[in-house]
């Protein structure tokens, strides 16, 4: 049984912060497979041990870093995994807070720990007391930007919640709502994509409750940036805004969203993601003139790209038409179609659209005064717009790991969480 070939400390995107190659057997590019299998993994439950190209990967996540060890031989995976947990424990003993900033600010000390704790890939000295006898490098305390942490008075005041609130039934409802803005070219290329997220709450809790909300770790990274969601690529979270009830100092420390909620409805948090997103609903359009040039047929094929277990509700596909058409004839394989002359469009409505399904709609119009060239010019300028809502689904993959409520009276509260993805400015060009 062999030990580890190398040990890596990685950030949430899988980029190496520090690594120690004990045997010279593996190149630094082994982190690429880690990114593919863990950071960008589609599966929510990723295995802590996996094999890729003959290399065994063992890893754990600790706060906003990954600890990873690799071996090329028939290694003792459980021994290596135990070592990683011990390494995390030692780093905590030294740094108190283990995160990317503390590792970077204590670069030399971290290297010395990696050298002393492992010899040629085998765990050696893993007790903090003994390590302190050999390692004399002092720990450098990370300087916290004072502008990030609000004054204590600002975080301790509870001006938004009066005392003495009572409810017969103690409940709190959380809606995770994401709106998808998307612009797709006629060839299917995504030209622009943006996710606008909002965490909206309805609080019906008695007394002065303390709430703690945990989101999937990859999404909330240091400095308001984000790793990946449960099934997406690495993304950047921008414009994070919290309600005044959130303790920002606590969030800066360990990424926990801790708060005393106002009574009733409020927005706990909002965020924006600028990240490539595949269209959830695609639309293909074929504009076909008649031989006489006096009639126009538009065929629309719409397909849902999300998983079959999800269903889009209240789907509307708005197809632009020339302003002076007549004698409309519309039919669809599902749903209903209506011509709106006042809006110069045809609306195809589908109440429920399951995932991995496709439907077809055709519209036929007379062109009494508009040339075919003018009609084509219209379709080159005006895109198709789509409206929809998908419950129990977030396009970014953001998930709530826990929502805990603690109140000094000790009552039991019921937390409810709901996920919704909605269309925002969702457009698809026809030509």
- The CATH number assigned to the domain holding 182 equals 2.60.40.1170
Which range marks the domain in which residue 381 is found?
A: 281-391
Predicted confidence band at 121 (pLDDT cuts at 50, 70, 90)?
confident
If asked whether residues 261 and 229 sit together in one domain, one would say: yes
The H helix count followed by the E strand count for the chain is: 8, 23
> Are 316 and 247 found together in one domain?
no
Of 134, 162, 194, the residue that ends a domain is 134
| Share above pLDDT 70 across residues of the chain, in percent, rounded to a whole number | 86
Looking at the structure, do residues 410 and 379 belong to the same domain, yes or no?
A: no
Q: Are residues 373 and 303 in the same domain?
A: yes
In-domain check, residue 89: yes
Give the pLDDT score at 107.
85
What tens digit of pLDDT does each residue of 323-348 get? 778 888 999 999 999 999 888 899 99
The Cα–Cα gap between 297 and 290 comes to 8
Tell which wins on pLDDT, 289 or 62: 62
The answer to whether residue 98 is domain-embedded is: yes
- How many independent structural domains does the chain possess? 3
Using one digit for the tens of pLDDT, what is the confidence trace for 212-267?
998 885 554 433 333 333 344 434 567 889 999 999 888 877 778 999 999 999 99
Through-space distance between the first and last CA atoms of the chain, rounded to whole angstroms: 62
272 and 415 housed in the same domain:
yes
Give 151-195 as a DSSP string: PHHHHH--TTS-S----SS-EEEEEEEEEEEEEE-TTS-EEEEEE
Closest CA to 34 of 234, 225, 237: 234
Compute how many other C-beta atoms are within 10 angstroms of the C-beta atom of residue 31.
22
Phi, psi dihedral angles at 24 (to 5 degrees): 65, 25
Confidence of residue 146 (pLDDT cuts 50, 70, 90): very low
Q: What is the mean pLDDT of the chain?
A: 85
In a domain, 141, yes or no: no
140 belongs to a structural domain: no
Answer yes or no: is 143 within a domain: no
Same domain, 13 and 130: yes
265 and 156 co-located in one domain = yes
Query: What is the band of 404 on the pLDDT scale with cuts at 50, 70, 90?
Result: very high
Give the span between the Cα atoms of 187 and 169, in whole angstroms: 53
Q: Does the pLDDT at position 357 exceed 90? A: yes
For the stretch 15-26, pLDDT in tens is 899 999 888 888
- 106 by Cβ neighbours in 10 Å (0-12 / 13-18 / 19+) ranks as buried
Same domain, 271 and 402: yes
When mean pLDDT is compared across 33-47, 186-200, 301-315, the lowest value belongs to 33-47
**Same domain assignment for residues 87 and 179:** no
Average pLDDT over residues 290-300: 77
Q: Which of 77, 101, 134 is the last residue of a domain?
A: 134
Q: Mutual orientation of helices 107-117 and 77-95 as an angle, nearest 10°?
A: 140
pLDDT mean over 45-62: 88
My answer on whether 100 and 201 are in the same domain is: no
**CATH (domain of 107):** 3.30.450.60
For residue 328, what pLDDT is reported? 86
Global pTM reads 0.60
CA 81 to CA 59: how far, in whole Å? Answer: 7
More confident residue, 370 or 128: 128
Q: What band does 44 get if pLDDT is binned at 50, 70 and 90? A: low
Q: Two tokens at 349? A: 């409505």
Same-domain pairing of 33 and 118: yes
Q: Does 85 lie in the same domain as 25?
A: yes
Asked whether residue 236 is domain-assigned, the answer is yes
Q: Is residue 97 part of a domain?
A: yes
Count CA within 13 A, CB hemisphere, residue 426.
Answer: 24
pLDDT at residue 403, as a whole number: 94
Top pLDDT among 195 and 28 is at 195
Give domain status of residue 365, yes or no: yes
């Amino acid at each position: 049984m062999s030990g580890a070939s190398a040990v890596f400390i990685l950030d949430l995107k899988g980029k190496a912060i520090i690594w120690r190659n004990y045997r010279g057997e593996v190149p630094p590019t082994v982190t690429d497979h880690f990114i593919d299998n863990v950071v960008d993994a589609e599966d929510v439950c990723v295995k802590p041990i996996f094999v890729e190209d003959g290399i065994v990967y063992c890893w754990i996540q600790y706060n906003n870093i990954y600890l990873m060890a690799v071996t090329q031989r028939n290694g003792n995976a459980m021994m290596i995994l135990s070592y990683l947990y011990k390494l995390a424990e030692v780093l905590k003993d030294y740094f108190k807070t283990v995160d990317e900033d503390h590792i970077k600010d204590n670069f030399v000390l971290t290297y010395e720990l990696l050298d002393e704790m492992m010899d040629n890939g085998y765990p050696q000295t893993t007790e903090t007391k003994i390590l302190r006898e050999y390692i004399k490098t002092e720990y450098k305390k990370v300087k916290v930007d004072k502008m990030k942490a609000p004054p204590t008075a600002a975080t301790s005041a509870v001006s938004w919640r009066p005392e003495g609130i009572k409810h017969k039934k103690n409940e709190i409802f959380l809606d995770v709502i994401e709106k998808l803005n998307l612009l797709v070219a006629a060839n299917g290329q995504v030209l622009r994509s943006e996710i606008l997220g909002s965490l909206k709450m309805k609080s019906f809790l008695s007394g002065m409750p303390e709430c703690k909300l945990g989101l999937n770790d990859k999404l909330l990274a240091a400095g308001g940036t984000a790793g990946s969601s449960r099934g997406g690529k690495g993304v950047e979270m921008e414009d994070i805004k919290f309600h005044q009830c959130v303790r920002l100092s606590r969030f800066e420390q360990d990424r926990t969203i801790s708060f005393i909620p106002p009574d009733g409805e409020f927005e706990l948090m909002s965020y924006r993601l600028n990240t490539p997103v595949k269209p959830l609903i695609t639309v293909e359009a074929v504009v076909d003139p008649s031989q006489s040039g006096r009639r126009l047929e538009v065929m629309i094929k719409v397909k849902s790209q999300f998983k079959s277990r999800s269903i889009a509700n209240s789907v509307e596909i708005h197809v632009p038409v020339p302003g002076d058409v007549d004698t409309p004839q519309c039919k669809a394989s599902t749903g209903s179609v209506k011509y709106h002359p006042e809006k110069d469009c045809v609306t195809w409505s589908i109440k429920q659209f399951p995932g991995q399904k496709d439907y077809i709609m055709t519209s036929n119009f007379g062109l009494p005064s508009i040339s075919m060239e003018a009609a084509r010019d219209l379709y080159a300028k005006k895109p198709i717009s789509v409206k929809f809502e998908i419950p129990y689904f977030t396009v970014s993959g953001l998930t709530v790991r826990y929502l805990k409520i603690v109140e000094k009276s000790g009552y039991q509260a019921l937390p409810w969480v709901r996920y919704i993805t909605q269309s925002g400015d969702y457009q698809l060009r026809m030509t």
